Amino acid sequence: MKKKSRNVGKYEVGRTIGEGTFAKVKFARNCETGESVAMKVLAKSTILKHRMVDQIKREISIMKIVRHPNIVRLQEVLAGRTKIFIILEFVSGGELFDKIVHQGKLPENESRKYFQQLIDAVAHCHSKGVYHRDLKPENLLLDAYGNLKVSDFGLSALPLQGDGLLHTTCGTPNYVAPEVLGDQGYDGSAADIWSCGVILFVLMAGYLPFDETNLSSLYRKINDAEFSCPFWFSPKANKLIHMILDPNPKTRIRIDGIRKDPWFKKNYAPLIYREDEEVSLDDVCAVFEDIEDQYVAERSEIKDGGPLLMNAFEMITLSQGLNLSALFDRRQDYVNRQTRFVSRKPAHVIISNVEAVAESMGLKVHTRNYKTRLEGISANRMGQFAVVLEVYEVAPSLFMVDVRKAAGDTLEYHKFYKNFCAKLEEIIWKPKEVMGRSNLLKTMTY
């Protein structure tokens, strides 16, 4: 059995819940308050190697500045000897994109509610002189109550000087405004509004307004605003979307105009919340300026011999309020931020089957300590596709395999996961009845 206990300062660190090229996000618990948090972990060596100090400082500073109920909250920043830890609000409801994948499209009233919350969050950012520049459903999370939370400010821009325009082409192609694709500079506010319009279209349609297999065709359609709304859009929604997806940023509707629109105003209740006291960035500066001398204690105790043992607290949080059915019913996986399955086969058998299936699908396989990374090329040939699988023992002879996207398109990932699980049917446990909460917790060892 491999038992792992790790603490960073006052936080007990648990499983990985997301990872990208430069950072991992871990589930963690504040040992003083019992509160669940998300811990973004960045290696100092990576930050220095890729000359990302200014970018990371900017992201942290922006998240401290933009405090709003519909924006993921940054709680604090810590520095270890080799890593930086960004402590964020833990948002348990998953990505909005997963909900779209699961349902195909959302009802107009539900789409409007999310769009209203998105506009409120974006308006708050703009009031602080911050432009997100990478708004898309994958960066919109849902909390336990179904409220939208904007995340991932890695491409955001702070207030500008000079001509007041942004000059960096960034973001995800399908959601990018036409003026961003040029090199004349662009208004960050108008560009964010365009992305919000694409998101609204996707929520209501279940597919993208601009979608081509090659970039040149995609850019042409975006530049010409060549799209049409499906027949089920109401006339008022159709009209608003066309005002937002106006290829001319100077005539494109602004946030004030959106808030006055009859379709938008239906059932709209502006949030009333207390603005926090003035935000200090002194701790951010301290983390980066004197990073070698100011650090939190990192304690780790590991005994090799098997997969990680998931404790009861992690199981409960993972299962969202003790609703453990999501762990055992793969049909529910699409509404979670991660996908996962359960097996009664030994851990080494699970890994060997995963490796064999992945290799049969033409993927490169890298395995270490019951954690496997699968790598390939995305279906549209535009970038890398990568998946990480990690085996946890949740009870004697009962293993959960946590599967998450590491790189690539989210929709492509869900298609991969469905196909991948179909090839692993022999090792996936499908109980006739979901085990009761109390019975499962009694069988767990911790």
Percent of residues, the chain, with pLDDT higher than 70: 70
Strands 384-395 and 308-309, bridge-based pairing: parallel
Per-residue pLDDT, 436: 43
User: What's the CA gap between 144 and 150, in Å, rounded?
Assistant: 14
Instruction: For residue range 363-387, list pLDDT tens digits in order.
Output: 998 888 788 888 888 765 566 788 8
Q: For the domain that residue 420 is a member of, what is the CATH number?
A: 3.30.310.80
- pLDDT of 191: 87
Q: Which of 265, 290, 318 is the last residue of a domain?
A: 265
How many angstroms separate the CA atoms of 315 and 328, rounded? 12
Q: Is residue 294 part of a domain?
A: no
Q: Is 40 in the same domain as 115?
A: no
Supply the pLDDT for residue 329.
Answer: 38
Q: What is the mean pLDDT of residues 290-302?
A: 51
Q: Is the CB of residue 33 less than 8 Å from the CB of residue 327?
A: no
pLDDT at 313 over 60: no
pLDDT of residue 13: 85
Give the pLDDT band (50/70/90) at residue 172: low
- Tell me: is residue 113 an annotated ligand-binding position: no
Q: Kindly state whether residues 55 and 110 are assigned to the same domain.
A: no
pLDDT of residue 282: 61
Question: Comparing 322-336, 367-381, 401-415, which segment has the lowest mean pLDDT?
Answer: 322-336
pLDDT value of residue 162 = 43
For the segment 24-77, what is each residue's pLDDT rounded down to a tens digit?
A: 888 888 888 888 888 888 887 777 776 767 667 776 777 777 788 888 888 888
Residue with the two structure tokens 């979901």: 434
Q: Are residues 132 and 258 in the same domain?
A: yes
Choice among 54, 98, 120, 134 that is catalytic:
134
Backbone dihedral angles phi then psi of residue 129, each to the nearest 5 degrees: 75, 25
pLDDT, tens digit (0-9, with 9 covering 90-100), for 317-327: 444 333 333 33
Which of 72-81, 109-118, 189-198 has the highest average model confidence (pLDDT)?
109-118
Q: What is the 3-state secondary structure of the chain?
A: CECEEEEECCEEEEEEEEECCCCEEEEEEECCCCCEEEEEEEEHHHHHHCCCHHHHHHHHHHHHHCCCCCECCEEEEEECCCEEEEEEECCCCCEHHHHHHHHCCCCHHHHHHHHHHHHHHHHHHHHCCCECCCCCHHHEEECCCCCEEECCCCCCECCCCCCCCECCCCCCHHHCCHHHHCCCCECHHHHHHHHHHHHHHHHHHCCCCCCCCCHHHHHHHHHCCCCCCCCCCCHHHHHHHHHHCCCCCCCCCCHHHHHHCHHHHCCCCCCCCCCCCCCCCHHHHHHHHCCCCCCCCEEEEECCCCCEECCHHHHHHHCCCCCCHHHHCHHHHHHCCCEEEEECCCHHHHHHHHHHHHHHCCCEEEEECCEEEEEEECCCCCCEEEEEEEEEEEECCEEEEEEEEEECCHHHHHHHHHHHHHHCCCCCCCCCCCCCHHHHHHHCCC
Q: Contact 340/388 with Cβ under 8 angstroms?
A: no
Distance CA(422)–CA(360), nearest Å, equals: 13
pLDDT (tens digit per residue) in 140-169: 888 888 899 988 764 334 444 344 444 344
In a domain, 300, yes or no: no
Residue 253 belongs to domain with CATH number: 1.10.510.10
- 77 and 114 together in one domain: no
| 46 plus 166 within the same structural domain | no
pLDDT above 70 for 299:
no
What is the model's pLDDT at position 108?
94
CATH, residue 80: 3.30.200.20
Between 312 and 400, name the one with better pLDDT: 400
Q: Looking at the domain assignment, is residue 231 inside a domain? A: yes
Pair 357, 261 in one domain: no
Q: Which of 52, 74, 90 is the last residue of a domain?
A: 90
Backbone angles phi, psi at 191, to 5 degrees: -65, -40
pLDDT at residue 307 tops 80: no
Task: Give tens-digit pLDDT for 91-111.
Answer: 877 788 888 877 788 999 999
pLDDT computed for residue 243 by the predictor: 95
**Mean pLDDT, all residues of the chain:** 75
Predicted confidence (pLDDT) at residue 288 exceeds the cutoff of 80:
no
Q: Which two tokens stand for residue 415?
A: 């298609």
Q: Is residue 134 flagged as an active site residue?
A: yes
In this structure, the strands spanning 74-79 and 36-43 are unpaired
Residue numbers of the domain that contains 168: 96-265
Residues 114 and 170 in one domain: yes
CA angle 400/402/407 to nearest 5° reads 165
d(C-alpha 25, C-alpha 114), whole Å: 25
What is the pLDDT at residue 320? Answer: 39
Indicate whether 303 belongs to any domain. no
CA angle 150, 152, 154 (to 5 degrees): 140
292 contacts 79 by C-beta, under 8 angstroms: no
- Lowest mean pLDDT across 114-118, 337-341, 411-415, 423-427: 337-341
Query: Is residue 124 one of the residues assigned to a domain?
Result: yes
Is the same domain home to 337 and 437? Answer: yes
The domain boundary, picked from 52, 67, 90, lies at: 90
Residue 279 domain flag:
no
- Let me know whether 23 and 164 are in one domain: no
Asked whether the predicted pLDDT for residue 437 surpasses 80, the reply is no
Domain count, the chain: 3
Residue 251: pLDDT band with limits 50, 70, 90: very high
Q: For residues 313 and 140, which has the higher predicted lDDT (pLDDT)?
A: 140
- Residue 257 reports pLDDT greater than 90: yes
Q: Are residues 73 and 103 in the same domain?
A: no
Amino acid letter for position 56: I
Identity at 167, one-letter amino acid code = H
Q: Please tell me whether residues 364 and 434 are part of one structural domain.
A: yes
Q: Read off the tokens for 295.
A: 């650090």
Q: What is the pLDDT, as a whole number, of residue 75?
A: 82
CB 110 within 8 A of CB 204: no
Q: Which of 18, 35, 40, 24 is nearest to 85 (CA)?
A: 40
pLDDT at 80 over 80: no
Is the pTM higher than 0.85? The answer reads no
pLDDT at position 116:
95
Is residue 270 assigned to a domain? no
Task: Kindly state whether residue 318 falls inside one of the protein's structural domains.
Answer: yes
Please check the confidence at residue 337 and state whether its pLDDT lies above 80: no
Quick one: 312 and 196 in the same domain?
no
- What's the pLDDT at 242? 95
pLDDT greater than 60 at residue 315: no
- What sign for the dihedral angle of Cα 282, 284, 285, 287? positive
